[in-house]
Structure 1
Amino acid sequence: MTSRDTPLGKTSPRIFKISLGLSCNYACEYCSQRFVARNDETNPEDVTGFMESLDSWVLSPPEAIEFWGGEPLVYIKTLRPLAEALRLKFPQARFSVITNGSLLNPQINHWLDDLGFTVSISHDGPGQHVRGPDPLGDPLARQAILELYRRLAPQGRFSFNAMVNRSNQSRAAIQAFFAELTGDPDVMIGEGGFVDAYDDGGRALSLKPEEFHSFRRLAFQEIRQGKAGRISSVRDRTMSFVNSLRFKRPASSLGQKCGMDRSDSIAVDLKGNVLTCQNVSATAAAPNGESHCIGHTSQMQEVALKSATHWSHRKECPGCPVLQVCKGACMFLQGPLWDVSCDNAYSDALPIFAAGIEFLTGLVPVHIEGNLPPDRKDVFGFDGNSADGGVKGKPFPIPVVAA
Structure 2
Amino acid sequence: MLPPQKILVVDDEPVTVELFERVLVKRGYQVQKAYNGLECIEKVRSFKPDLILLDIIMPEMDGIATCERLKEDPASANIPVIFITARTGKKQRLQGLALGAVDYITKPLDMAETVARVRTQLGLQQMHRENLALQLRMQDVRREAVIGAVTQGIAHNLNNLLGVVVGYVELLQAHPEDPERVKRMAGTIGKATQRIVQIVKQLNAMAEQGPIAHASTNIHSLLQEACETFTQEASMPTEFIIEEDIPASVQVLTHPETVKQSLNQLFANAWESYTEETKGPRKIWVRTRTLSSEENPPNGIGIEIRDAGVGIPAEIKDAIFEPFVSSKAHVGRGLGLTLVKHGLRHHHGDVSVEPYAKGGTIATVRLPLERDASQKN
TM-score, normalised via structure 2 length: 0.22
TM-score, normalised via structure 1 length: 0.21
Q: Which has the higher contact order (CA 8 A, sep 6+)?
A: 1
Give 1 or 2: higher strand fraction. Answer: 2
Bigger radius of gyration among the two: 2
